[in-house]
């Protein structure tokens, strides 16, 4: 028990006690690690993060200020088990204590590995790695853009390979930081710049090998999204063959090293000439084979073709003759029909003018029998008394004798 100089129990105000406690706690716990599970996590608009660390027995509040928040590469979320480094502070007005965190590490895995895993899963879920988004790499690019450090080994390797394989390809170098703070933003901006300028047929993004920290710029989300939105095909060439970055998964093609990227994008002159020679030989053989095949077919089918043409011509002429005969028969029939019609008309006219028709109307024919001949009498002066006559009526005839003749007046 605390006592004063007179031996009386010392009585402290709440403020005094809290201040004493604050001094003891903050001086005694200015550098410590606490293990716990994140809960009630909140990202404030100010950039600070507030959460609690808990285990099965207790809970402590935690604060991660903006400056240190930006150093955390992985995503913070409820349920994530972490180790937090910092110092304990006491808030007098509430009598509460909390840990001011200056460093966070995930439990059981490194922070960068966790950040890599989290971002990879998120971008994959969004479809950024989908093969259907991969653009084909042009077979014969005229200009190749390269985003890398202008002083690193990567650019030297790329230029050496391209000059050796095919020196006619133009290389456009876009210098960029490839590690450290701000490197990701610079790489992403250069990718956008290459697309805006539109001068390159293909784009190589990469650097030489290094630790995961050295290569981290190529694992940043801003770089991944810039590659995804690039209209120009992108080849990633980050580190060594065993190194994989987020950029590798998003890029249209992954090269294990910068040198390999140069080999993938540019065919060697010798390989190209050899391929052309082989293509020429195969094309020559194909043409000769086709000529041979068609020559055989021509020889085999020439007779059949001529015979078929003759038969077709003969059939056509027969058809033409049939048309002509049909036309002739039609014309003759039409002429006969016309003549028959005219004949009927004339016949009817003749019938009305014939003797029978005249007799039918009441007239009669008078024949004079003389010297055993019958002579038609048209004039009474040709008759004499006692001449014998035959009188023909429409129906029947009679014989008569002339008893008297009269004058020839009508």
One digit per residue, pLDDT tens: the chain, 410 residues?
555 555 667 778 888 888 888 888 888 898 999 988 888 899 889 999 999 998 888 889 999 999 998 888 888 888 888 899 999 999 888 888 899 999 998 887 777 888 888 899 999 999 999 999 999 999 888 899 999 999 988 999 999 998 888 777 899 999 999 999 899 999 999 999 999 999 999 999 999 888 888 899 999 999 999 999 999 999 999 988 777 899 999 999 999 999 999 988 887 556 666 667 777 778 888 888 888 887 777 777 666 666 677 778 878 888 888 888 888 888 778 877 887 788 787 777 766 766 777 777 777 888 787 777 778 777 777 788 887 888 888 788 888 888 888 765 55
Burial of 324 (C-beta count, 10 Å sphere; 0-12/13-18/19+): exposed
Q: Are 183 and 176 in contact (CB under 8 A)?
A: yes
- Over the Cα atoms of the chain, what is R_g? 62
pTM of the predicted structure, to 2 decimals: 0.53
- Please name the helix (run of DSSP H) or strand (run of DSSP E) that holds residue 349, with its range, or none: helix 269-353
Instruction: Please answer whether residues 166 and 275 qualify as being in contact, where contact means their C-beta atoms are separated by less than 8 angstroms.
Output: no
- Neighbour count for residue 210 (Cβ, 10 Å): 16
Confirm if 184 and 156 have CB atoms less than 8 A apart. Answer: no
Burial of residue 267 (number of CB atoms within 10 Å: 0-12, 13-18, 19+): middle
Indicate the helix (H) or strand (E) that contains 339. helix 269-353
User: How many CB atoms are closer than 10 A to CB 304?
Assistant: 9
247 close to 238: Cβ distance less than 8 angstroms: yes
| Domain limits, the chain | 14-108, 116-267, 269-353, 361-402
Spatial distance between the Cα atoms of 81 and 55, rounded to a whole number of angstroms? 10
Which CATH superfamily is 116-267 part of?
Hypothetical protein af1403; domain 2 (3.40.50.10550)
What b-and-e string marks burial along 60-98, b requiring 16 or more CB atoms within 10 Å of the CB?
bebbbeeebbeebbbebeeebebbbebbbbbeeeeeebb
pLDDT at 125: 93
**Looking at domain 14-108, what is its CATH homologous superfamily?**
Nucleic acid-binding proteins (2.40.50.140)
Task: Name beta bridge partners: 336.
Answer: none
Asked if 74 and 41 touch (Cβ cutoff 8 Å), the reply is no
- Alpha-carbon separation of residue 215 from 193, 204, 247 (angstroms): 22, 16, 10
- Environment class of 155 (CB within 10 Å of its CB; exposed 0-12, middle 13-18, buried 19+): buried
Cα Dmax for the chain:
217
d(CA 404, CA 386): 8
pLDDT for the residue numbered 272: 62
pLDDT (0 to 100) of residue 63:
94
Identify whether the C-beta of residue 147 lies closer than 8 Å to the C-beta of residue 158. no
- Distances, alpha carbon 296 to alpha carbons 66, 301, 395, in Å: 85, 8, 95
Per-residue b or e along 22-58, where b marks 16 or more CB atoms closer than 10 Å to that residue's CB: beeeeeeeeeeebebbbeebeeeeeeebebbbeeeee
Contact 174, 154 (CB under 8 A): no
For strands 365-370 and 234-238, give the pairing. unpaired
């Amino acid at each position: 028990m605390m006592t004063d100089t007179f031996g009386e129990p010392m009585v402290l105000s709440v403020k005094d006690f809290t201040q004493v406690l604050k001094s003891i706690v903050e001086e005694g716990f200015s550098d410590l690690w606490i293990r716990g599970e994140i809960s009630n996590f909140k990202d404030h608009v100010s950039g600070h993060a507030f959460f609690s660390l808990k285990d099965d027995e207790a809970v402590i509040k935690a604060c991660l200020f903006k400056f240190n928040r930006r150093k955390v590469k992985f995503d913070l979320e409820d349920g994530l088990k972490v180790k937090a480094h910092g110092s304990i502070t006491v808030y007098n007005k509430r009598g509460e204590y909390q840990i001011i965190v200056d460093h966070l590490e995930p439990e059981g895995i490194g922070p960068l590995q966790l950040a890599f895993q989290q971002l990879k899963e998120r971008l994959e879920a969004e479809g950024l790695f989908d093969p259907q988004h991969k653009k084909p790499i042009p077979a014969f690019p005229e200009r190749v853009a390269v985003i890398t450090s202008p002083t690193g080994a990567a650019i030297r390797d790329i230029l050496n390979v391209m000059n050796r394989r095919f020196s006619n390809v133009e290389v456009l170098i876009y210098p960029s930081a490839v590690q450290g703070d701000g490197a990701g933003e610079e790489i992403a901006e250069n990718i956008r710049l290459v697309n805006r300028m539109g001068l390159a047929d293909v784009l190589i993004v990469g650097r030489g090998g290094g630790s995961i920290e050295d290569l981290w710029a190529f694992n940043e989300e801003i770089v991944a999204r810039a590659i995804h939105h690039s209209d120009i095909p992108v080849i990633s060439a980050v580190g060594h063959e065993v190194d994989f970055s987020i950029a590798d998964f998003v890029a249209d093609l992954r090269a294990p090293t910068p040198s390999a990227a140069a080999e993938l994008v540019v065919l060697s002159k010798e390989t190209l000439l050899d391929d052309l020679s082989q293509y020429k030989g195969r094309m020559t053989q194909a043409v000769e084979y086709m000529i041979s095949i068609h020559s055989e077919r021509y020889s085999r089918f020439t007779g059949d073709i001529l015979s078929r043409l003759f038969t077709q011509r003969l059939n056509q002429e027969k058809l033409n003759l049939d048309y002509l005969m049909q036309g002739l028969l039609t014309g003759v029939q039409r002429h006969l029909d016309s003549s028959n019609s005219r004949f009927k008309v004339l016949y009817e006219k003749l019938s009305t003018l014939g003797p029978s028709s005249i007799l039918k109307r009441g007239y009669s024919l008078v024949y004079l029998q003389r010297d055993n001949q019958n002579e038609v009498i048209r004039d009474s002066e040709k008759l004499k008394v006692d001449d014998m006559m035959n009188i023909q009526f429409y129906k029947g005839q009679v014989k008569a004798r002339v008893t008297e003749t009269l004058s020839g007046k009508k």
